[in-house]
Chain A
Amino acid sequence: MSRPGFVLEVDDRTPPLVVHEGLGFRLEDGFPLGTRVVYPPESIPAVPDVDAAIREALLHPVDSDPLPELLFAGMRLTIAFDDLSLPLPTMKAPDIRGRIIEHVLTMAAEAGVDDVKLIAANALHRRMTAAELKHIVGERVFRSFYPQGDLYNFDAEDRDALAHLGTTDKGEDIEISKRAAESDLLVYVNVNLVAMDGGHKSVGIGLASYKSLRHHHNAKTMVQSRSFMDHKHSAMHHSAWRIGRVIKDTVKVFQIETTLNNDVFPKPFDFLQKREWEWSVKDQASMLGVRRGLAAAPQRLRHKMFHDMRSVYGLTGVNAGEVEAVHERTLQKVHQQHLVEVQGQSDVLVMGVPYLGPYNVNSSMNPVLATCMGLGYYFNSYRGQPVVRKGGAVILYHPLNEGFNQLHHPSYVDFYEEVLAESTDPAVVGEKYEQQFAEDPWYIHLYRTSHAYHGVHPFYMWYWAAHAMDHVDEVIWVGADRRVASRLGFRAATTLADALEMASGTVGTSPSITYLHNPPHLLADVR
């Protein structure tokens, strides 16, 4: 029996609480009495038989014919799937996408389908390596398709492989993978880790080019996405939904969405997903061991310790069929796993930024990504209204010292050094520099041939944080490199007490404080 999430009120009995900060975590015992701490629900039960659940979903889809009836000899079948940005951390093999794709391919083989392509829907994300692709689709699928070039990363800059499907009623261009657009059936296999994933965002964004993405990936839209974890109140999702509905008229999409539980940390890190006062002696010993190990280890080893972590998620649901109907069911499961009711806003929001975000899998969490993670994903982990009041303060934990990965994030370096040096206002930098970065031939070259994120990607990260920057008056990073924080337009503090002192000019000397205790993931339902 899994317990729901709840809001703890820090009192004299509360032990020090874990706060993630990059490649490590802190035991924070400085939370003022009365601080609210939002704990995510415990892992909900996983489906007992994954293969049976997948078969059931494919044979009895929602608002769609069963998959075998959609498959026929001589058809063009395209299977698209989420890239390595999901789930976080990476799932222990076998990945659920691979298992689903195997079922789909088995049915396709039985129907005599010859023309099958598998496309990783990475949009402007970096191309995945062969090993990363293999981890997602599994050895069997990889061996059957990759050598022939039938399993590949989507290339949003290959003009010949893109199809323009027209515009929405709001004038938004729809340009997606030509192969997907011209298929008789497009099967999309997703991992719906959090509420923002899935739905029309899968095809409409995952297989889209810059020309299409720029309509919703911009500062103006993101400020209006309140939050982007709630698609009904997210301008970005509204745009994706408009685009998705046009795509639906062009190509038959069979959406398969999966939901996972909160089993994020494998042993010996499992103490990180327990409530601190329930730590056994063994948990305390593991924690001390891990902390001392991290303290002794060089940065490279710490990076390896964390990034080699593979989560033992349980599958909580798999739904297939028509995109919107499927997504409704998916969201129910996601909300069941993540929603925590929080009464009212607070003056200060505290969040620990962990080592991993969607864009630094097997890479480094550079300052721009850390900002995106804290002020983007975690800040937006709300439904209703933000956890912090308008004009409040956000306190984030991260050392901001990981530097940039030159292979994966080349454009981030220039964005940090040149663009942020001039302005940190998302709207201003977007207006002035986005086009230039998006069309830079060198970045495009690296995106297409190396493993680099697209040139425009750092802008998107900055837009992700636009709503938070617009909403709060003060952002303070605890334990961060001062120069880096200053470049990002924020301030740094050594301890929480210092940060609260610094924020007192904005929120007073005895502010109400809420700490979001994630990961594991949570979604604050702020009433």
Chain B
Amino acid sequence: MSFVRSSVEDIRLVSRGWRWGRRPQVPRSAEEWVPAARSTVFRTDWSRRRPAMAAREVAQKVGLEPLFRSQVRTRVEALDVLDRIDGPVIFVANHVSHLDTPLVLLSLPDEWRRRTAVAAAADYFFDTWWRAVGSVLLFNTFPIDRRGGSLAATPGEVLADGWSLVIYPEGTRSNDGWMGKFRMGAAFLAKEHGVPVVPVAHRGTFAAMPRGQGWPSPGRRQLTIRFGEPLVCGADESVREFAPRIKDAVAALLDEDRTTWWEARRRVASGSTPDPSGPSVAQWRRVWEQSESPAPDAPARKLRAWRR
């Protein structure tokens, strides 16, 4: 074999074996021997200053938004709740896909979007400098440590600076599209800083780009996102009491998105809101149900001249 050809072979072998451009994988039997990642100290305060904000505005408006809209269709409901409150707030959403963050951010009115930061897993988005810089510049992320179960000091500082936060209390993307257990972090922050929580529910991102997929499925899948009434932690309400209230609000929003506001309200009143963690049926049925996109508003327009 010629030198050039064997070099190409070698590079191909390494690029495939070590998944160039993708996240590296650890063989299953070696997982227990992987050393725990050192906690990342990555300062992100620069990303909330004017130059970074300007760069982010360009990146989101010129790059991210057109690309996002070209791949998926979105339907945003109940944004009017934001008219009735002043920031900062904590947006709490269910989490099933990497599309969730652009969906939430690009659904927000510009003045809200520019002042919103996203809590991102330190061990995932901040494990290499380039991934950290990329996600910080594009999505205004800041690292939180999800291993310890408690949030790092940073979210409080970000809130105190007047920034709204997007937090996914599940801590990770769902494996089957159904909602997982909510952690207390968001409720704790809301109580600690006295800010309202805006529940957010979205559907369709799992069907469009589930975990493990690097790009949205073809066909411009429909995504829906719905904002709920702000929730405020009562003075004598504990974090433990407040956290389930947030989860119930998100569950009710999901129900509302699937049916109607009136039906969802009646189910809330009767305590029969469908469990957002899904039915206890075979795993494939759970995935099957979630892999169906919400119905689009209107049939996709197709130009007659281009129809095949």
CB pair A29–B18 under 8 Å, yes or no, is no
Residue of B nearest to A17 (CB): B17
Interface string of B1-18 (1 = CB under 8 A from A): 001001100110110011
Say which residue of B3, B14, B28, B34 sits within 8 Å of A27 (CB atoms).
B14
Contacts of B13 in A (CB 8 A): 16, 27, 29
List residues of A (25-49) whose CB comes within 8 Å of B's CBs.
27, 29
List residues of B (28-68) whose CB comes within 8 Å of A's CBs.
28-30, 33-35
CB distance from A267 to the nearest CB of B (A): 19
B27 on the A face (CB < 8 A): yes
Cα A3 to Cα B35 in complex, Å, equals 9
Contacts of B24 in A (CB 8 A): 277
CB distance from B83 to the nearest CB of A (A): 48
B26 on the A face (CB < 8 A): yes
A292 on the B face (CB < 8 A): yes
CB pair A8–B7 under 8 Å, yes or no, is no
Residue of B nearest to A5 (CB): B33
Contacts of A7 in B (CB 8 A): 29
Say which residue of A1, A9, A29 sits within 8 Å of B29 (CB atoms).
A9
CB pair A288–B30 under 8 Å, yes or no, is no
Say which residue of B14, B27, B33 sits within 8 Å of A11 (CB atoms).
B27
Contacts of A15 in B (CB 8 A): 17-18
Q: Is the interface of A mostly helix, strand, loop or mixed?
A: mixed
A140 on the B face (CB < 8 A): no
CB pair A295–B27 under 8 Å, yes or no, is no
Contacts of B260 in A (CB 8 A): none
Interface string of A199-220 (1 = CB under 8 A from B): 0000000000000000000000
Say which residue of A1, A6, A16 sits within 8 Å of B17 (CB atoms).
A16
Say which residue of A10, A277, A288 sits within 8 Å of B14 (CB atoms).
A288
CB distance from A27 to the nearest CB of B (A): 6
Chain A residue total in the interface (Cβ 8 A):
26
Contacts of B7 in A (CB 8 A): 292, 295
Contacts of A11 in B (CB 8 A): 27-29
A300 on the B face (CB < 8 A): no
Contacts of A278 in B (CB 8 A): 34
CB distance from A33 to the nearest CB of B (A): 11
Contacts of B18 in A (CB 8 A): 15, 279, 284
A96 on the B face (CB < 8 A): no
CB pair B27–A288 under 8 Å, yes or no, is no
CB pair A284–B29 under 8 Å, yes or no, is no
Say which residue of B3, B11, B28, B30 sits within 8 Å of A296 (CB atoms).
B3
A99 on the B face (CB < 8 A): no
Cα A287 to Cα B11 in complex, Å, equals 10
Say which residue of B11, B14, B27, B34 sits within 8 Å of A14 (CB atoms).
B27
Cα A291 to Cα B7 in complex, Å, equals 9
Contacts of A279 in B (CB 8 A): 18
A483 on the B face (CB < 8 A): no
B280 on the A face (CB < 8 A): no
B25 on the A face (CB < 8 A): yes
Cα A7 to Cα B30 in complex, Å, equals 8
Cα A9 to Cα B26 in complex, Å, equals 11
Say which residue of B3, B33, B35 sits within 8 Å of A6 (CB atoms).
B33
CB distance from B142 to the nearest CB of A (A): 25
Determine which residue in B3, B14, B28 has the highest number of CB atoms from chain A within 10 A of its CB, and name it: B14
Q: A15-B17, A279-B18 are in contact. Are A288 and B28 (CB under 8 A)?
A: no
CB distance from B252 to the nearest CB of A (A): 40
Q: A8-B30, A275-B30, A295-B6 are in contact. Are A13 and B25 (CB under 8 A)?
A: yes
CB distance from A34 to the nearest CB of B (A): 10
Cα A27 to Cα B14 in complex, Å, equals 9
Contacts of A3 in B (CB 8 A): 33, 35
CB distance from B31 to the nearest CB of A (A): 9
Say which residue of A1, A10, A284, A291 sits within 8 Å of B27 (CB atoms).
A10
Residue of A nearest to B17 (CB): A15
Residue of B nearest to A16 (CB): B17
Contacts of B11 in A (CB 8 A): 288
Contacts of B30 in A (CB 8 A): 6, 8, 275, 277
CB pair A284–B6 under 8 Å, yes or no, is no
Contacts of A296 in B (CB 8 A): 3
Residue of A nearest to B6 (CB): A295
Determine which residue in A11, A277, A287 has the highest number of CB atoms from chain B within 10 A of its CB, and name it: A277
Cα A13 to Cα B10 in complex, Å, equals 18
Say which residue of B3, B17, B26, B34 sits within 8 Å of A295 (CB atoms).
B3
CB pair B29–A287 under 8 Å, yes or no, is no
CB pair B17–A13 under 8 Å, yes or no, is no
Cα A287 to Cα B7 in complex, Å, equals 12
List residues of B (51-89) whose CB comes within 8 Å of A's CBs.
none
Residue of A nearest to B34 (CB): A278
Q: A3-B33, A3-B35, A292-B10 are in contact. Are A9 and B27 (CB under 8 A)?
A: yes
Q: A3-B33, A296-B3 are in contact. Are A9 and B28 (CB under 8 A)?
A: yes
Cα A35 to Cα B25 in complex, Å, equals 18
Cα A279 to Cα B14 in complex, Å, equals 11
Cα A8 to Cα B28 in complex, Å, equals 8
Cα A278 to Cα B35 in complex, Å, equals 10
Cα A277 to Cα B27 in complex, Å, equals 8
CB pair A288–B26 under 8 Å, yes or no, is no
Cα A461 to Cα B179 in complex, Å, equals 65
Cα A10 to Cα B11 in complex, Å, equals 22
Contacts of B26 in A (CB 8 A): 13, 277
Residue of A nearest to B1 (CB): A295
List residues of A (483-507) whose CB comes within 8 Å of B's CBs.
none
Cα A15 to Cα B19 in complex, Å, equals 9
CB distance from B93 to the nearest CB of A (A): 30
CB pair B35–A291 under 8 Å, yes or no, is no
Residue of B nearest to A15 (CB): B17
Cα A275 to Cα B27 in complex, Å, equals 11
Cα A13 to Cα B13 in complex, Å, equals 14
Contacts of B34 in A (CB 8 A): 278
10 new A-B contacts, CB < 8 A, other than A3-B33, A9-B28, A277-B25, are: A8-B29, A13-B26, A15-B17, A16-B13, A27-B14, A29-B13, A276-B17, A291-B10, A292-B7, A295-B7
Q: Give the 7 A-B residue pairs with the shortest CB-CB distance, closest first.
A: A15-B17, A9-B29, A13-B25, A14-B27, A16-B17, A13-B27, A277-B26
B: which residues have CB within 8 A of A? 3, 6-7, 10-11, 13-14, 17-18, 24-30, 33-35
10 contacts between A and B (CB under 8 A): A9-B28, A11-B27, A15-B17, A15-B18, A16-B13, A16-B14, A27-B10, A288-B10, A288-B11, A296-B3
